[in-house]
Amino acid sequence: MSNSVLWYTTRGAGAVTLILLSCVVVLGILSTLRVQSASWPRFLTTGLHRNLALMTLVFLALHIVTAVVDPFTNLGWAAALIPFSSVYRTFWLGLGVISFELLAAIVVTSLVRGALGHRAWRAIHWLTYAAWPVGLLHGLGTGTDTWSAWMLAITAACVAGVGMAIFFRLTSGSADPLAAARTMFRSAVDRREA
Protein backbone atom coordinates (compact mmCIF):
# COMPACT_ATOMS: atom_id res chain seq x y z
CA MET A 1 0.00 0.00 0.00
CA SER A 2 2.65 2.50 1.03
CA ASN A 3 4.49 1.74 -2.18
CA SER A 4 1.50 2.53 -4.31
CA VAL A 5 1.00 5.75 -2.33
CA LEU A 6 4.50 6.76 -3.34
CA TRP A 7 3.88 5.77 -6.93
CA TYR A 8 0.61 7.68 -7.17
CA THR A 9 2.24 10.67 -5.53
CA THR A 10 5.03 10.65 -8.10
CA ARG A 11 2.55 10.66 -10.95
CA GLY A 12 0.25 13.21 -9.36
CA ALA A 13 3.09 15.56 -8.42
CA GLY A 14 4.47 15.26 -11.95
CA ALA A 15 1.15 16.31 -13.46
CA VAL A 16 0.76 19.17 -10.98
CA THR A 17 4.32 20.30 -11.72
CA LEU A 18 3.50 20.49 -15.42
CA ILE A 19 0.38 22.56 -14.76
CA LEU A 20 2.14 24.92 -12.35
CA LEU A 21 5.18 25.31 -14.55
CA SER A 22 3.03 26.12 -17.55
CA CYS A 23 1.20 28.76 -15.51
CA VAL A 24 4.53 30.22 -14.39
CA VAL A 25 5.77 30.41 -17.98
CA VAL A 26 2.55 32.07 -19.13
CA LEU A 27 2.69 34.57 -16.25
CA GLY A 28 6.33 35.32 -16.99
CA ILE A 29 5.50 36.09 -20.61
CA LEU A 30 2.49 38.18 -19.54
CA SER A 31 4.73 40.22 -17.27
CA THR A 32 7.11 41.04 -20.12
CA LEU A 33 4.05 42.00 -22.17
CA ARG A 34 2.99 44.29 -19.27
CA VAL A 35 -0.53 42.92 -19.38
CA GLN A 36 -2.82 44.73 -16.96
CA SER A 37 -6.37 45.84 -16.41
CA ALA A 38 -8.31 47.60 -13.70
CA SER A 39 -8.90 44.35 -11.81
CA TRP A 40 -5.49 42.82 -12.62
CA PRO A 41 -2.63 45.17 -11.72
CA ARG A 42 0.84 44.32 -13.01
CA PHE A 43 2.23 43.42 -9.61
CA LEU A 44 -0.29 40.59 -9.49
CA THR A 45 1.31 39.00 -12.56
CA THR A 46 4.82 39.21 -11.17
CA GLY A 47 3.75 38.21 -7.65
CA LEU A 48 1.88 35.16 -8.91
CA HIS A 49 4.75 34.32 -11.25
CA ARG A 50 7.20 34.30 -8.37
CA ASN A 51 5.05 32.43 -5.86
CA LEU A 52 3.85 29.79 -8.31
CA ALA A 53 7.45 29.24 -9.39
CA LEU A 54 8.42 28.45 -5.83
CA MET A 55 5.40 26.18 -5.49
CA THR A 56 6.40 24.42 -8.71
CA LEU A 57 9.72 23.59 -7.14
CA VAL A 58 7.97 22.11 -4.09
CA PHE A 59 5.90 19.77 -6.26
CA LEU A 60 8.89 18.98 -8.40
CA ALA A 61 10.83 18.00 -5.28
CA LEU A 62 7.92 15.83 -4.21
CA HIS A 63 7.85 14.24 -7.66
CA ILE A 64 11.56 13.43 -7.57
CA VAL A 65 11.83 12.34 -3.95
CA THR A 66 8.85 10.00 -4.09
CA ALA A 67 10.17 8.51 -7.33
CA VAL A 68 13.60 7.88 -5.85
CA VAL A 69 12.49 6.48 -2.49
CA ASP A 70 9.92 4.21 -4.10
CA PRO A 71 11.56 0.78 -3.64
CA PHE A 72 9.98 -0.57 -6.83
CA THR A 73 11.67 1.95 -9.10
CA ASN A 74 15.10 1.38 -7.59
CA LEU A 75 16.34 4.54 -9.30
CA GLY A 76 18.86 5.79 -6.78
CA TRP A 77 19.80 9.42 -6.12
CA ALA A 78 22.45 9.50 -8.83
CA ALA A 79 19.82 8.87 -11.48
CA ALA A 80 17.83 11.81 -10.16
CA LEU A 81 20.77 14.20 -10.34
CA ILE A 82 22.98 13.05 -13.24
CA PRO A 83 21.28 13.22 -16.63
CA PHE A 84 21.08 9.97 -18.59
CA SER A 85 22.63 7.94 -15.77
CA SER A 86 19.47 5.97 -15.07
CA VAL A 87 19.28 2.37 -16.17
CA TYR A 88 15.50 2.65 -16.34
CA ARG A 89 14.28 4.65 -19.39
CA THR A 90 17.64 6.38 -19.68
CA PHE A 91 16.63 8.98 -22.27
CA TRP A 92 13.22 10.04 -20.94
CA LEU A 93 14.35 10.23 -17.31
CA GLY A 94 17.43 12.14 -18.43
CA LEU A 95 15.19 14.80 -19.95
CA GLY A 96 13.42 15.13 -16.60
CA VAL A 97 16.73 15.59 -14.80
CA ILE A 98 17.85 18.25 -17.27
CA SER A 99 14.57 20.10 -16.94
CA PHE A 100 14.79 19.97 -13.14
CA GLU A 101 18.35 21.26 -13.08
CA LEU A 102 17.57 24.11 -15.47
CA LEU A 103 14.64 25.13 -13.28
CA ALA A 104 16.78 24.94 -10.17
CA ALA A 105 19.35 27.21 -11.82
CA ILE A 106 16.61 29.65 -12.84
CA VAL A 107 15.13 29.79 -9.34
CA VAL A 108 18.47 30.09 -7.56
CA THR A 109 19.68 32.89 -9.83
CA SER A 110 16.36 34.68 -9.31
CA LEU A 111 16.78 34.50 -5.55
CA VAL A 112 20.20 36.15 -5.80
CA ARG A 113 19.34 38.45 -8.68
CA GLY A 114 20.50 41.52 -6.75
CA ALA A 115 24.01 40.11 -6.44
CA LEU A 116 24.09 38.69 -9.95
CA GLY A 117 23.12 41.73 -11.99
CA HIS A 118 20.23 42.04 -14.39
CA ARG A 119 21.97 40.97 -17.58
CA ALA A 120 23.28 37.62 -16.29
CA TRP A 121 20.00 36.90 -14.53
CA ARG A 122 18.04 37.56 -17.69
CA ALA A 123 20.30 35.38 -19.81
CA ILE A 124 19.81 32.47 -17.41
CA HIS A 125 16.08 33.14 -17.20
CA TRP A 126 15.86 32.55 -20.94
CA LEU A 127 16.65 28.88 -20.17
CA THR A 128 12.98 28.60 -19.19
CA TYR A 129 12.25 28.25 -22.88
CA ALA A 130 14.38 25.06 -22.78
CA ALA A 131 13.30 23.76 -19.37
CA TRP A 132 9.57 23.81 -20.11
CA PRO A 133 9.55 21.77 -23.39
CA VAL A 134 12.19 19.36 -22.08
CA GLY A 135 10.07 18.75 -18.99
CA LEU A 136 6.99 18.31 -21.16
CA LEU A 137 8.78 15.75 -23.34
CA HIS A 138 9.91 13.90 -20.21
CA GLY A 139 6.28 13.57 -19.19
CA LEU A 140 5.12 12.52 -22.65
CA GLY A 141 7.88 9.99 -22.99
CA THR A 142 7.77 8.29 -19.63
CA GLY A 143 4.49 9.31 -18.03
CA THR A 144 2.31 6.43 -16.91
CA ASP A 145 -0.83 8.47 -17.53
CA THR A 146 0.27 10.17 -20.74
CA TRP A 147 -2.40 8.65 -22.94
CA SER A 148 -5.29 8.76 -20.50
CA ALA A 149 -7.90 11.26 -21.52
CA TRP A 150 -7.51 13.55 -18.50
CA MET A 151 -3.73 13.75 -18.84
CA LEU A 152 -4.03 14.39 -22.57
CA ALA A 153 -6.41 17.23 -21.77
CA ILE A 154 -3.99 18.69 -19.22
CA THR A 155 -1.06 18.43 -21.64
CA ALA A 156 -3.07 19.95 -24.47
CA ALA A 157 -4.18 22.83 -22.24
CA CYS A 158 -0.62 23.50 -21.09
CA VAL A 159 0.77 23.42 -24.63
CA ALA A 160 -2.03 25.65 -25.88
CA GLY A 161 -1.57 28.15 -23.04
CA VAL A 162 2.20 28.44 -23.36
CA GLY A 163 1.99 28.35 -27.16
CA MET A 164 -0.46 31.24 -27.20
CA ALA A 165 1.61 33.25 -24.76
CA ILE A 166 4.74 32.76 -26.88
CA PHE A 167 2.79 33.69 -29.99
CA PHE A 168 1.68 36.98 -28.44
CA ARG A 169 5.20 37.61 -27.18
CA LEU A 170 6.62 37.13 -30.67
CA THR A 171 4.00 39.21 -32.44
CA SER A 172 3.64 42.12 -30.02
CA GLY A 173 7.10 43.58 -30.63
CA SER A 174 8.80 45.41 -27.81
CA ALA A 175 6.60 45.75 -24.76
CA ASP A 176 8.86 48.40 -23.30
CA PRO A 177 6.99 51.67 -23.89
CA LEU A 178 10.23 53.57 -23.38
CA ALA A 179 12.30 51.55 -25.84
CA ALA A 180 11.96 53.87 -28.81
CA ALA A 181 12.49 57.01 -26.76
CA ARG A 182 15.45 55.51 -24.96
CA THR A 183 17.07 54.46 -28.21
CA MET A 184 16.60 57.96 -29.56
CA PHE A 185 18.05 59.63 -26.49
CA ARG A 186 20.92 57.17 -26.30
CA SER A 187 21.86 57.84 -29.91
CA ALA A 188 22.42 61.44 -28.78
CA VAL A 189 24.60 60.59 -25.78
CA ASP A 190 26.22 57.36 -26.93
CA ARG A 191 29.86 57.72 -27.91
CA ARG A 192 30.90 54.09 -27.74
CA GLU A 193 33.36 52.97 -30.37
CA ALA A 194 31.55 51.17 -33.17
> Do residues 135 and 21 make contact, with C-beta atoms less than 8 angstroms apart?
yes
Subset of residues 163 to 192 that bind another protein, contact rule: CB under 8 A? 177-178, 181-182, 184-186, 188-192
Cα-to-chain-centroid distance, residue 133: 9
- CB 49, min distance to another protein, A: 20
> Do residues 49 and 56 make contact, with C-beta atoms less than 8 angstroms apart?
no
- CB 114, min distance to another protein, A: 12
42 touching another protein, by CB under 8 A: no
Nearer to another protein, 38 or 188 (CB): 188
Strand partners, 37: 40
Question: Comparing C-alpha atoms, which of 14, 48, 46, 12 is closest to residue 31?
Answer: 46
119 touching another protein, by CB under 8 A: no
Instruction: Convert residues 123-162 into a mask of x (bound to another protein by CB under 8 A) and - (unbound).
Output: ----------------------------------------
Nearer to another protein, 171 or 191 (CB): 191
DSSP symbols for 63-119 = HHHHHHH-TTT---HHHHHSTT--STTHHHHHHHHHHHHHHHHHHHHHHTHHHH-HH
> At a CB cut-off of 8 Å and minimum separation 6, what does 71 contact?
3
- CB 33, min distance to another protein, A: 16
Nearer to another protein, 77 or 185 (CB): 185
Residues lying near another protein in the complex (CB under 8 A) are found at 177-178, 181-182, 184-186, 188-193
